[in-house]
């Protein structure tokens, strides 16, 4: 009778208070502890959720007793490997059936590698079940024990009885995470945060001081007219991967793709002053140039180059458009200036060109290039190129 009451109490929590939990780790931590209190011998608990995202496919939480929960994200590329193909999660989400596997009696060489890994670590019994959501999708949950006798019929019955309440609790959390991920993919971290916080009306804008990076691919128009489409797309994909990866690795945020151009910022704050962000921006540039050299060496038939312009100033981003169609865009004199500075990388034959304003905040030695008129204005600006 006490177990039945525990099941009811946990089920009531899942369909009531748990729906308002915004932290997936906290949710699974609470669930794991409650199941352990009910006598289920959990060695590892995992809940995985699919993203509505063209780049990131899934996120999840792995929980073990007396250990910090581990949150993870799976990219779409990983889903094209045996990480997903043939996995128990593929089985339960596509077939919408429960799955149980005796880890002490695995057949050699024919099971999915996750079973062998769990068995090697001490797992004895694996149970997975689908969590079906109201949008028609199915997510997955798995529980593993390391008890020699495995799960009892009672354990399986308890976990199965909580399947629908857990789905009700996880769905709002999954929707929020999926939305935030999708916005970040298309808008960048800063703008995505603004939209999630409610800055969604036309005219809502955010202003920030930042190091601004403008990047442009060389001879893209020529490549577009002479290269086959698949070759062009592979090259363009590699280019964006190099730039975006380098920016993110050094704490920057990509705000906009404009044709073959990329606009990124390194926001300035008390925690990350201008001097630190100019260093981060230059580190991102160096990493991007290193990755470019590696790509070109390995793909001579798809080699390319790009120029980078760097400036420091105020950026304004927000919603513009009509009453029924909005776009999140980036504007401001400093943005235009960064783009014009990048134009000079071609004329001056330097892959990286910085404004004298940028140079004022940077500790990296530079070589002065001279004073130049900014196209379309009467304004002149001093330009430099970093020496390291």
pLDDT value of residue 54: 47
- The whole domain housing 197 covers 188-386
Q: Do 162 and 250 belong to one domain?
A: no
Residue with tokens 């919408």: 96
- Alpha carbon distance 208, 189 (integer Å): 14
pLDDT value of residue 130: 95
Q: Do 234 and 337 belong to one domain?
A: yes
Exposure of 272 by Cβ count < 10 A (0-12 exposed, 13-18 middle, 19+ buried)? middle
What CATH number is attached to the domain comprising 68?
A: 3.30.450.40
Q: Do 33 and 173 belong to one domain?
A: yes
Q: Do 24 and 77 belong to one domain?
A: yes
Q: Do 223 and 113 belong to one domain?
A: no
Q: Do 180 and 45 belong to one domain?
A: yes
Q: Do 156 and 194 belong to one domain?
A: no
pLDDT value of residue 51: 66
pLDDT value of residue 254: 87
| The model's pTM | 0.64
pLDDT value of residue 186: 59
Q: Do 342 and 211 belong to one domain?
A: yes
pLDDT value of residue 343: 94
Helix axes 274-298, 229-249, angle to 10 degrees: 150
The residues near 86 (Cβ < 8 Å, ≥ 6 apart) are 112
Of 160, 184, 208, the one marking the end of a domain is 184
Q: Do 235 and 125 belong to one domain?
A: no
Q: Do 133 and 88 belong to one domain?
A: yes
Q: Do 285 and 358 belong to one domain?
A: yes
**54-84 as b/e: b if 16+ CB within 10 A:** eebbbbbbbbeeeeebeeeebeeeebeeebb
Of 121, 151, 184, the one marking the end of a domain is 184
Q: Do 249 and 228 belong to one domain?
A: yes
What CATH number is attached to the domain comprising 292?
A: 3.30.70.1230
pLDDT value of residue 295: 95
- Neighbouring C-beta atoms of residue 164, cutoff 10 Å: 14
For residue 73, report the phi and psi dihedrals to the nearest 5 degrees. -130, 140
Residue ranges for the chain with pLDDT beneath 50: 53-54, 56
Of 184, 199, 231, the one marking the end of a domain is 184
pLDDT value of residue 59: 84
Domain count, the chain: 2
């Amino acid at each position: 009778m006490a177990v039945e009451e525990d099941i009811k109490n946990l089920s009531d929590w899942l369909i009531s208070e748990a729906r308002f939990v915004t932290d997936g780790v906290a949710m699974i931590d609470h669930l794991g502890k409650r199941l352990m209190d009910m006598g289920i011998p959990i060695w590892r608990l995992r809940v995985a959720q699919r993203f509505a995202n063209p780049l990131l496919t899934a996120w999840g939480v792995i929980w073990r007793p007396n250990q910090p929960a581990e949150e993870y994200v799976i990219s779409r590329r990983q889903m094209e490997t045996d990480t997903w193909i043939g996995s128990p999660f593929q089985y339960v989400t596509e077939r919408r059936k429960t799955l149980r596997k005796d880890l002490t009696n695995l057949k050699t060489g024919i099971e999915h590698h996750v079973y062998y890994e769990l068995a090697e670590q001490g797992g004895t019994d694996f149970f997975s079940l689908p969590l079906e959501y109201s949008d028609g999708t199915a997510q997955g949950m798995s529980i593993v024990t390391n008890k020699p006798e495995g799960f009892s019929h009672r354990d399986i019955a308890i976990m199965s009885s909580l399947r629908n309440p857990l789905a009700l609790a996880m769905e709002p959390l999954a929707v929020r995470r999926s939305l935030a991920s999708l916005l970040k993919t298309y808008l960048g971290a800063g703008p995505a945060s603004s939209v999630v916080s409610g800055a969604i009306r036309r005219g809502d804008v955010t202003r920030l001081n930042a190091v601004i990076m403008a990047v442009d691919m060389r001879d893209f128009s020529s490549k577009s007219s002479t290269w086959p489409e698949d070759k062009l797309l592979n090259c363009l994909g590699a280019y964006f991967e190099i730039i975006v990866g380098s920016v993110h690795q050094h704490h920057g945020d990509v705000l906009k793709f404009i044709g073959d151009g990329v606009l990124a910022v390194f926001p300035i704050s008390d925690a990350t002053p201008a001097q630190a962000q100019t260093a981060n921006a230059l580190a991102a540039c160096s990493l991007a140039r290193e990755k470019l050299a590696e790509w070109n060496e390995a793909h001579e038939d798809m080699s390319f180059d790009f120029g980078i312009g760097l400036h420091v100033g105020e950026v304004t981003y927000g919603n513009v458009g009509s009453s029924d169609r909005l776009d999140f865009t980036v504007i401001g004199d400093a943005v235009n200036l960064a783009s014009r500075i990048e134009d000079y990388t071609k004329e001056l034959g330097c892959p990286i060109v910085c404004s004298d304003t940028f140079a004022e905040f940077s500790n990296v030695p530079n070589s002065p290039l001279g004073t130049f008129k900014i196209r379309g204005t009467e304004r002149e600006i001093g330009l430099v190129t970093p020496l390291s």
